[in-house]
């Protein structure tokens, strides 16, 4: 019985750390190194052509995503990093978007573990589908 309580305590501490660990802005809010679209086990990189309004449109879509908030950056800076947490465990994923001339660079990645099982790819691709709808008016 003691082993069960120790296991429960370890799980509770781990979950608390996942939810409460501070996010180092200097580590996460960095310009994405994106030259092409790439799917990775730990996240995704996307490069898209952009109009001047695209960054603001994408920012509005991202901010409307449940459990997502801005870690650092702003539209004026042209660089913003968001944290999106998983529903149950609260795992943080970091997404950085940057306006770079007529392109937007997106880098979404996990913080804990080695694989996000495609969650970041699905989220970013959903944002880009919503962006396309906004831009085409459909």
DSSP string, 28-73: HSS----SS-EEETTEEEEEEE--TTHHHHHHHHHHTSTTEEEEEE
Asked if residue 4 is part of any domain, the answer here is no
Residue where the block lists tokens 């950056």: 73
Q: How confident is the model over 67-84, as pLDDT tens digits?
A: 999 999 999 999 999 999
Q: What is the mean pLDDT of residues 107-116?
A: 94
Rg (CA), the chain: 17
pTM of the model: 0.90
Whole domain around residue 50: which residue ranges? Answer: 24-136
- Domain count of the fold of the chain: 1
- Residue 9 falls inside a structural domain: no
Give the model's pLDDT for residue 73.
98
Which tens digits make up the pLDDT trace of 6-24? Answer: 888 888 887 777 787 899 9
Distance of CA 119 to the CA centre of its chain: 10
Residue 137: per-residue pLDDT: 83
Q: Across all residues in the chain, what is the average pLDDT?
A: 94
CATH number at residue 53: 3.30.310.80
Q: Is the pLDDT of residue 138 over 80?
A: no
1: in domain? no
Residue 105 lies in a domain: yes
28 located within any domain: yes
In a domain, 88, yes or no: yes
The pLDDT of residue 29: 97
* Coil, helix or strand at residue 138: coil
What percent of the chain clears pLDDT 90, i.e. is strictly above it? Answer: 78
């Amino acid at each position: 019985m003691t082993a069960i309580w120790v296991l429960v305590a370890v799980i509770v501490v781990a979950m608390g750390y996942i939810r409460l660990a501070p996010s180092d802005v200097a580590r996460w809010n960095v310009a994405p190194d994106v030259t092409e679209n790439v799917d990775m086990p730990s996240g995704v990189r996307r490069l898209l052509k952009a109009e001047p309004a695209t960054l603001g449109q994408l920012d509005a879509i991202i901010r409307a995503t449940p459990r997502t908030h801005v870690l650092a950056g702003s539209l004026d800076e042209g660089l913003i990093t968001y944290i999106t947490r998983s529903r149950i465990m609260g795992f943080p994923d970091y997404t950085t978007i940057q306006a770079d001339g007529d392109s937007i660079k997106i880098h979404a990645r996990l913080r804990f573990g080695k694989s996000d099982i495609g969650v970041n790819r699905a989220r970013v691709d959903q944002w880009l589908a919503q962006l396309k709808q906004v831009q085409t008016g459909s």
